[in-house]
Amino acid sequence: MTRYLLALLLALIALIALPVGGTAHAQSDEEEFDPLFVRQAGPFDVAVRWLPPAPQVGFINIAVKPTLSASGESVGDARIRLIAQGEDRTGILARIAGESETDFEVVAVNSPASPEIYRATLKFEEAGNWVLRVNVSSPTSGTAEFESPIVILPAPIEPGAQGAWAFLGIVIVLSAGGVYVAWSIRKAQAARQAHQQGPR
């Protein structure tokens, strides 16, 4: 009985120690393009997707797919700029005060494997409400620009000292519980044997 309880305790500790990653699925560039939204701007219909869909502080992968509104034809010769601004620096008052600044700007590029999709990686270092400006320029089809709000969530708490102490506390509690159970069983067995033997 004691060995069974100890084995069960070790199994519980092993399960707790395993990394939680079974539900995470890697996103591949080869997956079918599934935009979060499509915006009509100038001569284009511009489909936009970012990963993860609920972006957090850190790196965000953004994909843009422009097509011609008139024909639905893909645009493979575009230059796409992605400009991110904090929402507090994009309003009219901020512009009047001269505080409308570009926090950062990147150029999304396509590849021979998928020339119709343009990709870029942005790094957001602050949580909050942001504005993403998408500028599409094609020498054969024209130019367009639009803005889209994007909410950046705070980064999750990473495993660190707090997580290590919490894990250590769980191990101590489980170990103490196992020792107590084993001691209780031995005590009960000794009492039962003493009762069966009776006074000599």
Domain holding 89: CATH number?
A: 2.60.40.1940
* 8 Å CB contact between 47 and 33: yes
- 189: tokens are 């067995």
The Cβ of residue 162 has, within 10 Å, a number of other Cβ atoms equal to 10
Q: At what angle do helices 2-17 and 161-197 cross, to 10 degrees?
A: 170
For residues 88 and 145, membership in a common domain is answered with yes
- 43: tokens are 């001569």
- Using the structure block, give the residue that is written with the tokens 């999304």: 108
DSSP state of 89: G
For residues 140 and 169, membership in a common domain is answered with no
The pLDDT tens digits along the chain (200 residues) read 555 445 544 555 554 544 444 333 334 444 578 899 999 999 999 999 999 999 999 999 999 999 999 999 999 999 999 999 887 654 444 444 444 445 789 999 999 999 999 999 999 988 999 999 999 999 999 999 999 999 999 987 665 556 666 666 676 766 766 666 666 777 777 776 776 666 55
Q: Does some domain include residue 115?
A: yes
For residues 49 and 111, membership in a common domain is answered with yes
Chain-centre distance for alpha carbon 8? 34
For residues 189 and 132, membership in a common domain is answered with no
Q: Determine the structural domain holding residue 75 and report its residue range.
A: 37-152
Q: Does some domain include residue 14?
A: no
Q: Does some domain include residue 9?
A: no
For residues 121 and 187, membership in a common domain is answered with no
pTM: 0.60
- How many domains is the chain partitioned into structurally? 2
